[in-house]
Amino acid sequence: MASEIFSLLSVLSKAASPVLLGPCVYKGVRAYTSVACVPHSRPSISPSKRHHLTAELYKIFRFVKLAASQMAQIVRPMPIFSAFDLEHCRWPGERVAGSSLCTDEILYFENWKPQVEDPDHKRLAHEGEDEMVDLAERFQIRFPNIFEENYVNDSFKFQYTASQRTSESARYFTVGLFGKRASKNVWFPEALHQDPILRFYKSCLRWKIQVDKNPESLIERFKFENGPEMKAAAKDINKRLGLNGILDIDTIYLMYITCSFETAWDRVNGSPWCAAFSEENLKVFEYSEDLEYYWIDGYGFNITHRIACPALRDMMLYLMTGKTPNKKSSPKAVVYFSHSGAMLKMLSHLGLYKDNLTLLHDNYHMMEDRRWKVSNIDCFGSNLAFILFRCKDGDKVLTYHQERSIVLPGCPLDDLCPLSTLKNIYHDSLYNCDFDNVCALNTRDGNT
C-alpha cells in the first residue's frame, strides 16, 4: 500500500542562515512544484479493509466481459475526444454499441489482473518508496542548512509508528537525504503501537467508542449513498458499461477505489476501472468519502480534533525550546511518520480547511468548492511542516502543507507567523491539554 505519512517537520533554523535577509525576509526557498495529489487517492482506504477486493472485482470483471461479448455491433466512425473526457473514448478507436466503452478499453479490461495480494495491502508500495526519496530530496534543496547531506545523529530525530508503512517511509526518506549507504547508520527509537504523539487517537477510548465505532458517525454518508446523486451516478455507470442495473453502490465503490489505487500505482497507464466513471461520477463518490472522514477524522465531532493537542504541544515545545523528550542535544530537525488519521485530526486542530457549512448528505451541490476535500489535503505522501526562523524582530514560523506555504488561522497574511502569536492562538493546546480527562468515558462536557 502506498505510504501514509504524517510528516511533522519541526525545524530549527540558525540565525546565520543565508535564507534570511534584512529583518526576516524569506527568500531562500525555491519554488519547486510539489508532487500533485493523485485525485481520489485516499491513503487510508485499503481495498481489503472493508471488502474481499479480488474476489468481488473478478465478479464485476466477468460482468463487463460478458456485456462486451454480447455487443457485437461496432459503431463507426469514432470522434476524437479530449484525453480528459472520461465519458468517451480517450484515443481514436471504436466504441462498442450499447456502451460508452471503446474496444481499446474492453481489451484493457481483458488484460487486467489484481496488483495487490491480501498480505501486501497494508505495505508500502514501490511508488511510495520513490515518493519518500523524492520528497526528502526536495526538502533538502529547499532547506540545505537544515537537512545537511552528512548524517549526524544529534542533528536529527526521526520517529515512526509500529507499522511497515511508516517504518519504510522513514527509511526511504533518509535515503533521499543521506544516500543509501549513510542512511543505514540512521538511528530510530523503538516504535510504539499506541504512540502518544503519532497515534494519539489510539489511546482515546472515548473517541473510539463515541466516534470511530459509532454507527451514527456514518449516517451522513449512508444517507448520501441512498440519495438522488448517488443513484444517478450508479445508473449512469451501469449504462456506460452496458450492464442494465446489475451493479449496486457497494460494487461500484470497489471499482472506484481500485481506479484510485491503480492510478496512483501506474500514472502512465492508469486503471481500466476508471473508464466506468465520468468526472461527475468521481465527484459524487469523492463527496461520499469526504463525508465519512469529515465526521470521523475532522470537524464532525469536537472531540476528534481536540484530542490532537498532544501532537501540537509536542511541536510547539520543540519550536520554543529546541529540545525534544529523551534527546540530550537540540536537533535541527524532528521528522515524524504517522498515519492519515493523525494528519486529518491535526489539520482540524489547527483550524485548517474548515468550511462555513457542515458537510451533510443533502448539501452536495452547495459544497462543490469545499475546502475539506480529502483527495487534496490528505493524499499519498501528505506532509505538514513547521519551520522556525530566528529574525531580528523575534522568532517566526513558516508552515508548509503538501509542500506549499499556508497561513494558519489568526496569523498574518503577508508575513511569517510570530511564534508568540502561535502561542496565543494555541494556548489551550499548549498549556491545557488534558488528554486523559477528555478521553475518559465518564467525561460529560457536551463536546463529543
- Say which CATH number the domain at 238 has: 3.40.50.1240
According to DSSP, the β-strands at 25-26 and 20-21 are: antiparallel
The C-alpha atoms of residue 103 and residue 86 are separated, in whole angstroms, by 14
Q: Compute CA distances 309 → 49, 195, 303, 305, 400, whole Å.
A: 28, 14, 11, 8, 19
For cell 477505489, name the residue: 257
CA-closest candidate to residue 349, choices 299, 305, 408: 305
Q: Is residue 219 part of a domain?
A: yes
The candidate with the shortest Cα–Cα distance to 9, out of 324, 306, 294, is: 324
Phi, psi of 242 (to 5 degrees): 70, 35
Q: Note whether residue 30 is domain-resident.
A: no
Q: Flag whether 66 is in a domain.
A: yes
pLDDT along the chain (448 residues), means of 10: 38 32 32 36 36 46 48 32 33 43 66 60 74 93 90 90 91 93 91 92 96 96 97 93 84 88 79 88 95 97 96 94 70 92 96 97 96 92 92 93 95 94 96 94 66
pLDDT reported for residue 245: 78
Residue 45, in any domain of the structure: no
pLDDT at 252: 92
Decide if 241 contacts 251 (C-beta within 8 A). no
State the total domains in the chain: 1
- The answer to whether residue 35 sits within a structural domain is no
Cβ atoms 6, 346 nearer than 8 A: yes
State the cell numbers at 298: 475532522
CA dist 290 and 406 (Å) reads: 21
Q: Is pTM, for the whole model, over 0.95?
A: no
Residue pair 122/46 in contact by the 8 Å Cβ criterion: yes
Helix H or strand E segment including 204: none
Structural domain contains residue 32: no
C-alpha closest to that of 129 among 92, 79, 166: 166
Domain that holds residue 371: 50-85+118-439
- Looking at residue 102, the DSSP 8-state letter turns out to be B
Please report whether residue 266 resides in a domain: yes
Residue 211 lies in a domain: yes
d(CA 125, CA 169): 10
Res 103: pLDDT: 61
